[in-house]
């Protein structure tokens, strides 16, 4: 699996920020599309079309203390014992770690994608998950919201990300974004000519839904 290494919240040539916060008041995200790319018009309907989400793995995790953290997505490593990992549809394996922000390195060990520092989650039981999502050309996800944090890495294809809190942003293969604005609408559109595939890492308080569909596009 060949992907560019990325860092930051939404480390793109399009330079967008889609992460804000969970329980505390959200900072206003911003988005700047790639100068050479025009944001295409898409059909704004809340229903999913050509969209398949596959749960690769879910597990419960006890966060014993509240602290700022970040998520690192990388190939599996024996040295990362806290990582959640799974096998993708192409046969490759991938792992994601929710780790204290104090453990972030500043050098060559960024893996495939690192989120920005996330707001502290309250101590308690959470559900971590990895999902692989496929969206057919001209397809879209449902308009939806998340109760927890969502970190997305594009494995193949080109997506348009629409939210209520930022200008639309284009995310391409090897790029990722972090979305941690609790219960704020988001929707993904495949604007490329091939199937778009993403890896989604999520961490949500136990008992809350990973995702809730909405009746209006953002």
pLDDT tens per residue across span 42-97:
999 999 999 999 999 999 999 999 999 999 999 998 788 889 999 999 999 999 99
Q: Is 211 helix (H, G, I), strand (E, B) or coil?
A: coil
Average pLDDT along the chain: 83
Q: According to the model, what pLDDT value does residue 49 have?
A: 97
Residue 7 — very low, low, confident or very high, per pLDDT cuts 50/70/90?
very low
Is the pTM above the cut of 0.85? no
CATH number for domain 49-213, candidates 3.40.50.261, 1.10.3720.10, 3.30.70.270, 2.60.120.10: 2.60.120.10
What CA–CA distances, in Å, run from 142 to 49, 119, 200, 212? 8, 26, 15, 9
Q: Chain centroid to CA 66: how far? A: 21
> Where in the chain are the domains?
49-213
CA–CA gap between residue 37 and residue 33 (Å, rounded): 7
Write out pLDDT tens, residues 163-183: 988 889 999 999 999 988 778
């Amino acid at each position: 699996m060949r992907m560019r290494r990325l860092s930051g919240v939404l480390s793109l040539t399009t330079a967008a920020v889609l992460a804000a916060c969970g329980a505390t008041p959200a900072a206003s995200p911003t988005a700047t599309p790639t100068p050479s790319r025009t944001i295409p018009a898409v059909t704004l309907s809340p229903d999913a079309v050509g969209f398949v989400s596959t749960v690769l793995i879910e597990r419960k995790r006890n966060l014993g203390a509240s602290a700022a953290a970040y998520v690192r997505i990388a190939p599996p490593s024996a040295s990362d014992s806290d990582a959640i990992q799974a096998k993708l549809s192409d046969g490759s394996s991938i792992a994601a770690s929710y780790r204290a922000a104090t453990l972030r390195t500043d050098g060559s060990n960024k893996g495939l994608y690192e989120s920005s520092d996330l707001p502290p989650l309250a101590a308690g039981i959470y559900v971590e998950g990895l999902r692989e999502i496929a969206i057919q050309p001209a397809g879209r996800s449902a308009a939806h919201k998340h109760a927890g944090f969502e970190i997305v890495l594009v494995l193949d294809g080109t997506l348009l990300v629409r939210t209520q809190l930022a200008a639309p942003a284009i995310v391409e293969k090897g790029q990722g974004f972090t979305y941690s604005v609790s219960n704020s609408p988001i929707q993904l559109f495949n604007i490329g000519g091939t199937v778009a595939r993403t890896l989604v890492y999520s961490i949500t308080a136990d008992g809350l839904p990973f995702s809730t569909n909405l009746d209006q596009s953002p």
